[in-house]
Amino acid sequence: MNDNSGQFSYNCIKCGNCCRAGLEISIRKQDIINWKDRNKRDFLEHIQIDAKSISAEGLAGYHIEEKNALLALLNEKNIDIYEMKKEELRDFILKNHEFQGEGSLPLPIYSFILELGRMPVLIPKDFTTILEGINKNIDYVIKLDSNGSCPFLKKNECSIHEIKPFDCRSYPYDERGHIKLDKFFLKICPGIRKIDNF
């Protein structure tokens, strides 16, 4: 695949489209450390476990292979140790997160903790829980509203712009620093423009 991102430029026009597009925003350790240092405890209600990261083994699709706490445990060859670690993970999730029911998206993603059902919404109790969870290969994301909008979007502007998550700060660039040019991003982002002399 040819990289043609050099033919495009990006200039944020503050339209808020990316904040309303239902994009999954993962939370990184540095985001949590930053928010913890600033005592942003009110952010906790807007953070949840990404259901894919605690989904049942063997679920096809939805990229669960990228970040899945159970798959990380499969490196353990001894089945007894695997089962013990799985039980420890279960206890950590249930003791340190508030279960708020099933998510509204109709995706067939079920937790390995059967009683939590499909797409469980699990809110961490504190920032230390998130840091510990990340170390256990649990992925945390911003909890979007029922319309797919970020809860921090206020009056069409990011209300936490100075301390927004890394995923937001790096938008619309990929991990290599190239502008994302798939049809979805080109459709939602009027700030991505083709450079005239190309």
Q: What is the pLDDT of residue 175?
A: 85
Stronger pLDDT, 167 or 65, i.e. the higher one: 167
Confidence class of residue 69 from pLDDT cuts 50, 70 and 90?
Answer: confident
Question: Per-residue pLDDT averaged across 30-54, rounded?
Answer: 95
* pTM score of the predicted model: 0.88
Percent of the chain with pLDDT over 70: 89
Stronger pLDDT, 108 or 90, i.e. the higher one: 90
Residue with tokens 């009683």: 115
Q: What is the pLDDT of residue 57?
A: 59
What is the 3-state secondary structure of the chain?
CCCCHHHEEECCCCCCHHHHCCCCCEECHHHHHHHHHCCCHHHHHHEEECHHHHECCCCCCCCCCCCCHHHHHCCCCCHHHHHHHHHHHHHHHHHHEEEEEECCCCCCCEECCHHHCECEEEEECCHHHHHHHHHCCCCEEECCCCCCCCCCEECCEECCHHHCCHHHHCCCECCCCCECCCHHHHHHCCCEEECCCC
Percent of the chain with pLDDT over 90: 57
Closest C-alpha among 75, 67, 78, 71 to residue 28: 67
Confidence class of residue 61 from pLDDT cuts 50, 70 and 90?
Answer: low
Confidence class of residue 4 from pLDDT cuts 50, 70 and 90?
Answer: low
Question: Per-residue pLDDT averaged across 163-169, rounded?
Answer: 95
Stronger pLDDT, 89 or 147, i.e. the higher one: 89
Residue 123 has pLDDT above 50, yes or no: yes
Stronger pLDDT, 57 or 51, i.e. the higher one: 51
Q: What is the pLDDT of residue 2?
A: 39
Q: What is the pLDDT of residue 1?
A: 33
Confidence class of residue 118 from pLDDT cuts 50, 70 and 90?
Answer: confident
What CA–CA distances, in Å, run from 90 to 25, 42, 60, 173?
A: 24, 25, 22, 35
Residue 55 has pLDDT above 50, yes or no: yes
